[in-house]
Amino acid sequence: MRTPLIAGNWKMNLDHLQAIALVQKLAWTLQDSGHDPKAVEVAVFPPFTDLRSVQTLIAAERFELALGAQDLSPYESGAYTGDVSGAFLKALAAAYVIVGHSERRAMHGETDEIVNAKALAALKHDLVPVVCVGETAEDLERHGSSAVPVAQVRTALLGVPDDADVVVAYEPVWAIGSGRAATPDTAQEVCAALRAAIAEDHGQAFADRTRLLYGGSVKSGNIASFMHRPDVDGALVGGASLDPGEFAAIARFPKHVSID
């Protein structure tokens, strides 16, 4: 069984003081709701400037939350102004790091090859890369719903050892922040194609244990319908992760829920 993962990508929101307040409220809300971290893992991905404060709070209060970063450098160290090494993230007890988010691809020109280099850099420092793939509205019309994500994941995982731990997040670019999510059937179709491609390239065991997330206008009102699909193992949540109550409500739907 793959443990569902509900991951909150805060993007460029909240300073370190606001981050502390949000994590406290989130952790208390999850505890009050009887959240079982063994049934559903919850992770938060704050901006770089918040990581130390959030890490200290999680450790001090023993909150059942995993910590992730939103990006990392493909380089180890050196003259790379503004970059953050995987070694720095690991020193802050980060468990995950997002690579290849559509906003990085669109605004910073990140190619599939760069995403691959970042995924390998994450694994080098025992960080689990959350590899983002997805199609634009133009891609969808021209190639269909799975061709582009499958091509992206194949390149992103080149050279990744077959015993590595990775997460893949399918985010249809046309759905991010639009309020219009893909249908659960579409999410399942794409995630099934991604798992099949991973199995072909890295073996069935690798594919079977790799968690596939859906992202794109995820809310408490639609999460259960996605989680009911056999190849959807969680969600990468954007705006809704900034609301502790809403994000906790999203995390209350484990894999066995069967609401359409």
Q: Which residues are catalytic?
A: 101, 171
Give me 60's structure tokens: 């001090």
Helix (H, G, I), strand (E, B), or coil: what is residue 38?
coil
